[in-house]
Structure 1
Amino acid sequence: MKIFDYQATGERLPYPALIESIRQIFIAGCVVPRRHIHAVDGDDAAATLLIMPAWQKNKFMGIKHVTIYPDNGKRHGLPGLHSTYTLFDAQNGVPVAVMDGNQITCRRTAAASALAAKYLAREDARNLLIVGAGNVAREIAPAYAAVRNIGKVRIWNIDADKAHRLAGDLKQQGFDAEAVTDLEAAVRDSDIVSCATLSTAPLVLREWVQKGTHIDLIGSFKPDMRESDDAMFAGTSVFVDTDEALDKAGDLLSPMAAGEFAREQVLSDLEGLCQGRHPGRTAADEITVYKAVGAASEDLAAAVLVYQG
């Protein structure tokens, strides 16, 4: 059985190849049971364990185990998310590899976000706003650069120091990046707004969003987590990664409960976009909203790419 540590896993997941691998698994299809979500007793009241399986017949099967401890940063100076990924031969159940799940999670999340933007963001979108400065947020700009000609990158985070550090890291990668403190102004001046936080209160408001903007909401994955207000889903073109988002994401559950939005108004999931069943953006002034909670099929696509090298 092969072992891939953090560095080895990341080195085998370049964004152009990863985005295409995720696209192909959505086209081919994949068995994805509903994830298991368990609250974990402890000092961190929001501690959560996720178990996410997926497989393709006679090919590969994988299971990701994820722990989410939102208070880790302030309590222990640690990231809030940790995970491992185990890959199996689906023909016989033999485990073939164990790899760093954090790299799998962060990179496939950013890659799936960029894949959605390939269909939903304007072709001429250049100004990118990243809301958040954690492990997933730092992958957004490199992933988006694989599908759009990104010019200016702005970063807003509730902890301004972390936003400045991420801006510095992105500058070293060649991006024209800066940290900002005025979130409203940054949203108004962005073509793409990508939110990758663990927020439990709305951050980006619909009234700030200009025509033609693509809103990417990829941080929240539980009913008590929010990155946008209810109005974000009224009068906009809404897409999801999978139907699971409609059952588990606070960003969607809240406007549905308030009567601002109905699940039937979702235009397509990511599979439908990849398979060409929906064209994605249809007008330059359209406001597109993509809500994702993550899909185990994306993890599997990434893990197979790592394993096969």
Structure 2
Amino acid sequence: MFKVKVLNQEVIKKTLGMKQVIEGVEKVYTLKAEKRAHVWPMIFHEFEPGVADMDIKSGYLKDADIYGLKLVSWYGENPKKDLPPLIGTTLLFNMKTGAPMGLLSAEHITGMRTGAAGAIGAKYLANKDAENFLMVGTGHQAPFQIAAILMAMENIKTVRLYDPLNFEKAKELEGNIKGLLKEEFLQYYKEDEETYNALKKKFNVAFEAVEDLEDAVKKSEVITTATPSRKPMIMKEWVKPGTHISCVGADMSGKQEIDENIFGVAKVIVDDVNQATNVGETEMPIKKGIIDESHIIGEIGEVMLGNIKGRTSESDITVYDSTGIALQDLMISNLAIHIAKEKNIGEEILL
């Protein structure tokens, strides 16, 4: 029998702070660039198109001696049954023995690592003095993206909020976001006075719900898109020189958030070339012949290591295609398990 750590969502929230998650995801990207971590091909299956599907992302982290997978199921009819439409589970294994190590709820970890990923794209590709951030999409992922951006970027002063379907949702988030940032991200650091005060200052920015996306894009230097859109929302002619865009929503073939023509004038960096060209924001520009794979400068880890250059001038338009890779889930799940053991929280079962 094997001792397996089991962590539910509430326990995981007690183990993870966004600063540590950003650091963990940065480490993942550099390990991948150094060929010390590997992503295996993604598996996707539709049980019923538009109604129920699942995907499996997997890989291994050599330095951490772990491998594993995250399985995410989407059942669109679940809310009618008082169940969440998206259900995720992560499994971790010891790479030296193959023994199971952990079984974790994936929802909060996915939110945290996805927020960190979008912010890391901005941290390494946006102009450092950028002050205006636009969040496109006001759903579950938005607070994670906003918290991570404010932690990763030094000079953001205004955060604009745009919902592509309902302006009232953007207004609602405008009213709630400061409370969400405090309760969901700041409170984790309440025992660390220095960090708490530094983050409290960073979170003290202006939030503004907007109805006119074109105007908001023209006013923004950093943009994150996190929607399930299948048609472009941001047009090429709206994007001013020097803008950075982190595209987070496209994680399945056919999804698209920004005009494919932006790719023709942008410097494009991705988290994983294979995923980006098959299921990411980069898929449509390639399929429509705007660019080919050679137009992709490289992966974000290579930028972080200095092996390649992303932004080379203040006027560059940069796009970061963040599809989400299993290595993020494995690294952050492993971190959660270690912290849970230190705090003696969560359950341990014999399997």
Fold match, TM over 0.5? yes
For 1:278 and 1:288, the matched residues in 2 are separated by 14
> For 1:186-219, what per-residue CA distance to the aligned partner results, in whole angstroms no more than 9, with x for missing partners?
1111111100011111111111111111011110
Query: Which amino acid in the other structure matches residue 176 of structure 2?
Result: D
Aligned equivalent of 1:187: 217
Q: Does 1:155 align with 2:181?
A: no
Aligned equivalent of 1:83: 88
Aligned equivalent of 2:112: 107
1:96 to 86, 95, 101: 101
Which structure exhibits the higher relative contact order, with contacts defined as CA atoms closer than 8 Å and separated by 6 or more residues? Answer: 2
> For 1:160-198, what per-residue CA distance to the aligned partner results, in whole angstroms no more than 9, with x for missing partners?
232222222222234421211111111111111100011
Aligned equivalent of 1:47: 52
- Judge conservation of contact 2:134–2:217 (CA < 8 Å) in 1: yes
User: Is the radius of gyration larger for structure 1 or structure 2?
Assistant: 2
Instruction: Tell me how large the CA RMSD over aligned residues is.
Output: 2.0
Residues 1:78 and 1:214: Cα distance change in structure 2 (over 3 Å)? farther
- Judge conservation of contact 1:107–1:139 (CA < 8 Å) in 2: yes
For 2:86 and 2:218, the matched residues in 1 are separated by 30
The percentage of counterpart residues that share the same residue type is 31
Aligned equivalent of 1:12: 15
Residues 1:231 and 1:275: Cα distance change in structure 2 (over 3 Å)? same
1:78 Cα offset (Å): 6.4
Residues 1:227 and 1:70: Cα distance change in structure 2 (over 3 Å)? farther
1:212 to 237, 242, 257: 242
Query: Which amino acid in the other structure matches residue 317 of structure 2?
Result: I
Of 198-207 and 276-285, more deviation after overlay is shown by 276-285
SS in 2 for 1:31: strand
2:69 to 26, 43, 63: 63
1:277 to 302, 307, 311: 307
Query: Which amino acid in the other structure matches residue 256 of structure 1?
Result: I
For 1:122 and 1:78, the matched residues in 2 are separated by 42
Q: Does 1:21 align with 2:24?
A: yes
Residues 1:110 and 1:209: Cα distance change in structure 2 (over 3 Å)? same
Q: Please report the TM-score for the alignment, with normalisation by the length of structure 1.
A: 0.92
Aligned equivalent of 2:294: 264
Residues 1:186 and 1:72: Cα distance change in structure 2 (over 3 Å)? farther
Aligned equivalent of 2:126: 121
- Judge conservation of contact 2:25–2:117 (CA < 8 Å) in 1: yes
1:250 Cα offset (Å): 5.8
Residues 1:245 and 1:11: Cα distance change in structure 2 (over 3 Å)? same
> For 1:209-256, what per-residue CA distance to the aligned partner results, in whole angstroms no more than 9, with x for missing partners?
111110111101122111011211011111111012343236322222
Residues 1:46 and 1:287: Cα distance change in structure 2 (over 3 Å)? farther
Of 145-154 and 180-189, more deviation after overlay is shown by 145-154
For 1:161 and 1:7, the matched residues in 2 are separated by 29
For 1:103 and 1:214, the matched residues in 2 are separated by 26
* Count, aligned residues: 306
For 1:45 and 1:258, the matched residues in 2 are separated by 24
Query: Which amino acid in the other structure matches residue 205 of structure 1?
Result: M
Whose helix proportion is higher, 1 or 2? Answer: 2
Q: For 1:127-276, what aligned pairs fall within 5 Å after superposition?
A: 127-149=132-154, 150-157=156-163, 158-172=165-179, 173=181, 174-249=204-279, 251-276=281-306
> For 1:276-295, what per-residue CA distance to the aligned partner results, in whole angstroms no more than 9, with x for missing partners?
21132111111101112111
Q: Which runs of 5+ in 2 are unaligned?
A: 182-203, 340-351
Residues 1:31 and 1:258: Cα distance change in structure 2 (over 3 Å)? closer
1:72 Cα offset (Å): 6.1
- Judge conservation of contact 1:225–1:250 (CA < 8 Å) in 2: yes
- Judge conservation of contact 2:232–2:256 (CA < 8 Å) in 1: yes
- Judge conservation of contact 1:241–1:292 (CA < 8 Å) in 2: yes
For 2:330 and 2:89, the matched residues in 1 are separated by 12
